[in-house]
């Protein structure tokens, strides 16, 4: 169910420019997916847990009982989230470069949102081969 994430596939000997972690989280209690301020606080804490530096954030609530979309801009890139309380689903995108560890950010997000199911993919990003 919650298997460890694989190391990024970088191909060849080229160094990665960053790690891009995409996570689908399901089976989340709807009330955890509706509060834009709480989600902003959560993603800021997740960035700090990953060793990233927060620059700015912006979150939008689609109204009472509805979902949230938002982004935390980092010196190392970003964390974004889109939530659907009506289906208990959240899509999380964590892109970090440098020494930041996106897996730590996802672990904190999952600890708070408590998804019953999760699927994550870690991709190494690089300009090598372009």
Q: What is the pLDDT of residue 77?
A: 96
The one catalytic residue in 17, 61, 82, 112 is 82
pTM, two decimal places: 0.86
pLDDT tens readout for residues 23-34: 999 999 999 999
Let me know if 110 is a catalytic residue. no
Let me know if 17 is a catalytic residue. no
First-to-last alpha carbon distance for the chain, in angstroms, is: 35
For the chain, which domains are there? Answer: 18-125 (3.60.90.10)
Please state the φ and ψ torsions of residue 20, each to the nearest 5 degrees: -115, 115
Q: What is the pLDDT of residue 122?
A: 94
Q: What CA–CA distance (Å, rounded) separates 22 from 91?
A: 8
Let me know if 97 is a catalytic residue. yes
pLDDT tens readout for residues 78-99: 999 999 999 999 999 999 999 9
The one catalytic residue in 77, 78, 80, 110 is 77
The one catalytic residue in 16, 17, 61, 97 is 97
């Amino acid at each position: 169910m919650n298997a460890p994430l694989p190391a990024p596939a970088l191909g060849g000997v080229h160094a990665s420019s960053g790690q891009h972690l995409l996570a689908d989280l399901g089976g989340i209690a709807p009330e955890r997916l509706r509060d834009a301020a709480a989600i902003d606080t959560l993603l800021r804490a997740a960035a700090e847990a990953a060793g990233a530096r927060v620059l700015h954030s912006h979150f939008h609530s689609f109204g009472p009982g509805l979902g949230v979309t938002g982004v935390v801009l980092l010196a190392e890139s970003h964390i974004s989230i889109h939530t659907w309380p009506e289906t208990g689903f959240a899509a999380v995108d964590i892109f970090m470069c440098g020494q930041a560890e996106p897996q730590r950010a996802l672990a904190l997000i999952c600890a708070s949102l408590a998804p019953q199911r999760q699927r994550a993919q870690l991709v190494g990003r690089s300009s090598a081969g372009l």
